[in-house]
């Protein structure tokens, strides 16, 4: 007597749990497939819907006032002077999403620390703005700039002699 004959005689009680498990598996597979299709068609970012903070306006305002080719002509050079504080700038991080940022600045005691915009760097001086190559420090209401490398002054440009004066006539 085979297994199938025993199952038929017993009224199919062995196949009943298998049919239930198969039906449950098909339902689960259908549910997961519908979730996959829904996830593929939903227009969302990697972490869900982005929160609007108005950061587009801050980035747009920065882009409008920043001219990478003619910085001095845009009026940026005269708005703040180079600081005389004994600080050294080691790095900057701009955050266009919030309009803030942070900078790594060495204080007079030589300790490097990370400062966010609005934090006090020294007594009477707080970090006001972070840019790509400098930061602005609000020192008792006056804006002063601290650049990444302001230790070595820029060498003056020397004009070369005219080409006619350098070339001498060579006789064969």
For residues 18, 21, 24 and 28, what is the CA-based torsion angle, rounded to 10 degrees? Answer: -130
Q: How confident is the model at residue 152, as a pLDDT?
A: 56
Q: How confident is the model at residue 75, as a pLDDT?
A: 45
**DSSP codes of every residue in 4-32:** HHHHHHHTSTTHHHHHHHHHHHHHHHHHH
Is residue 132 very low, low, confident or very high in pLDDT (cuts 50, 70, 90)?
Answer: confident
Cβ within 8 Å of residue 55, ≥6 positions away? 96, 97, 98, 99
Average pLDDT score over residue span 141-163: 68
> Where along the chain do its domains lie?
3-41, 79-147
Average pLDDT score over residue span 97-107: 87
The pTM is what? 0.44
Is residue 114 very low, low, confident or very high in pLDDT (cuts 50, 70, 90)?
Answer: very high
Q: What gap in Å lies between CA 126 and CA 20, rounded to an integer? A: 69
Q: What gap in Å lies between CA 44 and CA 168, rounded to an integer? A: 71
Q: How confident is the model at residue 74, as a pLDDT?
A: 45
Q: Are strands 125-130 and 120-122 parallel, antiparallel or unpaired?
A: antiparallel
pLDDT in tens, 29-84: 999 999 999 878 876 666 665 445 555 666 777 777 766 666 554 444 455 688 88
Instruction: Specify the fold of 79-147.
Output: SH3 type barrels. (2.30.30)
């Amino acid at each position: 007597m085979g297994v199938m004959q025993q199952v038929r005689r017993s009224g199919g009680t062995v196949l009943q749990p298998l049919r239930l498990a198969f039906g449950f598996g098909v339902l689960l597979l259908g549910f997961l497939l519908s979730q996959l299709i829904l996830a593929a068609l939903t227009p969302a970012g990697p972490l869900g819907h982005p929160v609007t903070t108005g950061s587009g306006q801050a980035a747009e305002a920065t882009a409008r006032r920043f001219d990478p080719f003619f910085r001095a002509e845009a009026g940026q050079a005269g708005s703040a002077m180079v600081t005389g504080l004994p600080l050294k700038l080691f790095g900057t991080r701009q955050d266009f999403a919030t309009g803030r940022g942070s900078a790594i600045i060495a204080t007079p005691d030589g300790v490097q620390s990370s400062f966010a915009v609005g934090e006090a760097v020294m007594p009477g001086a707080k970090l006001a703005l972070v840019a790509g190559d400098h930061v602005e420090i609000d020192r008792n209401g006056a804006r002063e700039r601290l650049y990444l490398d302001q230790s070595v002054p820029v060498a003056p440009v020397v004009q070369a002699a005219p080409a006619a004066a350098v070339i001498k006539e060579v006789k064969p």
